[in-house]
Structure 1
Amino acid sequence: MGREDAYKSRIKAMGWARLRTFHERLIQGRVEGWEPGKAFEYLVLRAFELEGAEVTWPYIIALSPLEPGGETEQIDGAVFVDGLACIVEAKDTTQSTSIVPIAKMRNQLLRRPASTIGLIFSRGGFSRSATTLVRFVAPQTILLWKGEEVAHALKHRAFRTTLHRK
Structure 2
Amino acid sequence: MVGNEDAYKSRIRAMNWARLRAFHERLVEGRLEGWEPGKAFEYLVLRAFDLEGATVKWPYITAVSLSESGGETEQIDGAIYVDGLACIVEAKDTADTVDIAPIAKMRNQLLRRPSSAVGLIFSRGGFSRPVTTLVKFVAPQTILLWTGDEVAHALKHRTFREGLNTKYRRSVEQGLGLHDVLEDNT
* Category of TM-score, reference length = shorter chain: over 0.9
How many residues end up aligned between the 2 structures?
Answer: 166
Distance 1:53 1:69 in 2: 34
The aligned residue for residue 74 of structure 1 is 75
Amino acid across the alignment from 1:51:
E
What TM-score results when the alignment is normalised by the length of structure 2? 0.86
Say whether 1:154 aligns with 2:120.
no
Query: What are the Cα deviations for residues 49-106 of structure 1, in whole angstroms up to 9, with x where unaligned?
Result: 0000000000001102997973111000000001100000000000000010000000
How do 1:16-27 and structure 2 match up within 5 A?
A: 16-27=17-28
RMSD between superposed Cα atoms in Å: 1.6
Structure 1 runs not aligned, ≥5 long:
none
* Higher RCO, Cα 8 Å, sep 6+: 1
Question: Which whole-Å CA distance do the structure 2 matches of 1:68 and 1:25 have between them?
Answer: 45
Q: TM-score, normalised by structure 1?
A: 0.96
Structure 1 segments of 4 or more deviating over 4 A? 65-69
What is the identity, as a one-letter code, of the residue corresponding to 1:146? T
Which residue matches 1:143?
Answer: 144
Between the aligned residues of both structures, percent identity stands at 78
Cα gap change, 1:15 to 1:68, in 2 (>3 Å): farther
The superposition leaves residues 99-130 of structure 1 with CA deviations (integer Å, 9 ceiling, x where unpaired) of 10000000000100110000000000000111
Tell me the amino acid that sits aligned with residue 14 of structure 1.
Answer: M
